[in-house]
Amino acid sequence: MNIEQLEQYAPYIVIIVLFIIQNNIFVRPEALERKHREILKEVEDNVESKYVEINAYKEFQNHIYSKLDEVKEQNDEIKALLMKRRKDD
């Protein structure tokens, strides 16, 4: 790229750069870090009211899995009973 081409496209380059800066098209590291801190603070403030603790979730998950195992056992019993009745007929 020579000087004449640079002089020809310089106004467009300046306009594009100013547009990017004014409209915050690209995130700056400072703004990203600030937003990260805000999110972490919000999570810390709301962890007790909005979010489920991991231990409570795991207890719930274990409870559901145990209930599903019970349902599976009952389902197997029903299948066995139905198969037995079919053989008897």
Where in the chain are the domains?
1-51, 53-89
The tokens for 18 are 């100013």
State pLDDT tens for residues 24-54. 888 888 988 999 999 988 877 776 655 567 7
The HSE-up count of residue 66 (CA atoms within 13 Å, CB side) is: 6
Q: Torsion angle of alpha carbons 76, 78, 84, 89, nearest 10°?
A: -150
**CB–CB of 11/3 below 8 Å?**
no
DSSP 8-state symbol, 48 = T
pLDDT the model gives residue 52:
62
Distance CA 1, CA 33 (A): 37
State pLDDT tens for residues 45-86. 776 655 567 788 888 899 999 999 999 999 999 999 998 888
